Amino acid sequence: MPIKKNTYAIVDLETTGGMARRDKITEIGIVLFDGEKILETFQTLINPERSIPPEITRITGITNDMVANAPKFYEIARQVVEKTEGTIFVAHNARFDYSFLKEEFSRLGYTYTRRTLCTVRLTRNTFPGLRSYSLGNLIRHFNIEVNARHRALDDALATAQVLKNVLHKDHGSFSIKNIINQGIRESKLPKGITLDFLHGLPETPGVYYFYNSYQKVIYVGKSNNIKSRVMQHFAKTTQKAEKLAKMVSTISYEETGSELIALLLESREIKYLQPEVNRAQRTKNYPYFIHSYKDEDGYLNFQWLKSSNKTRKGKNILNHYGSKQGAISHLIGLAKELELCLGKLGLKEKEGPCYRYSMEGCHGACIGIENATTYNERALLGEEFLKKVFSNDFVVQVEGRDQTEIGVVLIEEGNYKGFGYINIEDFSFGIEEIKEAIQYEPENPEVNRIIYTYLNKNPKTKLIPI
């Protein structure tokens, strides 16, 4: 449905706390505003189906008794959808209110998406130099009369007055349009791509695809917010961004439910599709690799190299690394674990024996003393050692694409095997049921590093041992 001309749905929520995934809404206020006058208001308390912390009651005045007989969110959800449909969603600190509504609707299996406008950012741009851009300070600055602060409808009405002051300012309307469209000028968009299309993209984790006029994929990207990331591509004014915009004809996407599966799907798609633009970028995160080869004397050698199309070509790549030191450390660990020669690991700089030979950590392959066949028995174990990133087998549990499923990633025999989605009800049956949901994939050492890095950055991720 097209946006109602000059209509804003100004929303304010009161909640049980500050985390959308944990906390719930206790009150909602909506003001429909055309830029000059208020068209309609809506307000209701909401039963959060949990207790309200005393500190929240102190701030808002909303008690457990007040919400005990109030409607639950699902009972007023349709009204929220209808009243905000086709409008611009406005809130003071829009990220907070918008995320709570999206989470509540997500629990109902509904995707709530609106164009958003944050009056914190808007007033910071329009009225620079104020001591603070909190709603309380703006109320004082503009002498706005408010009956009950920290109540949803009263704060929404105050936000409407703030917005009105912006609209009366020179270039106020331009600032609003610029923020809503993230600085994108429609005239600069590729032919066939409109702002309405971009605003209709999902605000969820996933992978997106840019196609040229021949319907060939030229770029694959991932994001926790597909809409925001795609819009960023067209908001940039760099030569590189403008060149990409000229190449794009159509856009598609696939929602994944979680950042981890988005990373895995992106890696797989880039490897399979070989998009023209990605080829120049694919080594950015893992710019080094280790490969193995046999030298002229028959010894199995390992070597680290900086990654490029030229250096990767024809190589038996065992693993990818985010830094040179990471690759070297893995090789040094290999030398200690299997008593391999530093010379055959690409870590010896001078002629003659490696320094580990004098310390009895090398059996003399570097100077031809150890037989190649004997040496290679240990070196082959080294190949498996380098390929294996994980010492245990487990399943990574992440968010599904909706409330009915769970995303799962399988690590087995020390390596990534694939990902999939399983119904919540089936998840409880155990590991064999989970494995049946996995889409198994060819070996891809780069993906092991992606998972390893993700788990290090997200230590609270749920892992299920096998």
Task: Give the catalytic positions in this structure.
Answer: 150
Neighbouring C-alpha atoms within 13 Å toward the C-beta of 331: 27
Its sign, for the CA torsion 256, 258, 262, 265, is: negative
Dihedral class, residue 289 (left if φ above 0, else alpha if ψ from -120 to 50, else beta): beta
Strands (E), 391-432: 394-399, 405-412, 415-423
Q: Are 457 and 429 in contact (CB under 8 A)?
A: no
How far is residue 154 from each of residues 33, 157, 224, 321, measured CA to CA in Å? 14, 5, 33, 54
Residue by residue, DSSP assigns 68-106 as: TTSPBHHHHHHHHHHHHTTSEEEETTHHHHHHHHHHHHH
How far is residue 384 from each of residues 160, 380, 446, measured CA to CA in Å? 64, 7, 15
Phi, psi of 255 (to 5 degrees): -75, 140
H/E element, 235: helix 226-235
Q: Which two tokens stand for residue 462?
A: 């749920």
Q: Which two tokens stand for residue 51?
A: 């207790």
Q: Based on the number of CB atoms within 10 Å of its own CB, is 181 exposed (0-12), middle (13-18) or buried (19 or more)?
A: middle
Q: Are 204 and 257 in contact (CB under 8 A)?
A: yes
Q: Residue 306: what residue type?
A: K
Q: Are 180 and 116 in contact (CB under 8 A)?
A: yes
Looking at residue 47, what DSSP letter applies?
A: B
Return the closest-CA partner of residue 220 out of 185, 269, 181, 187: 269
Residue by residue, DSSP assigns 344-365 as: GGT---SSS--HHHHTTSS-SG
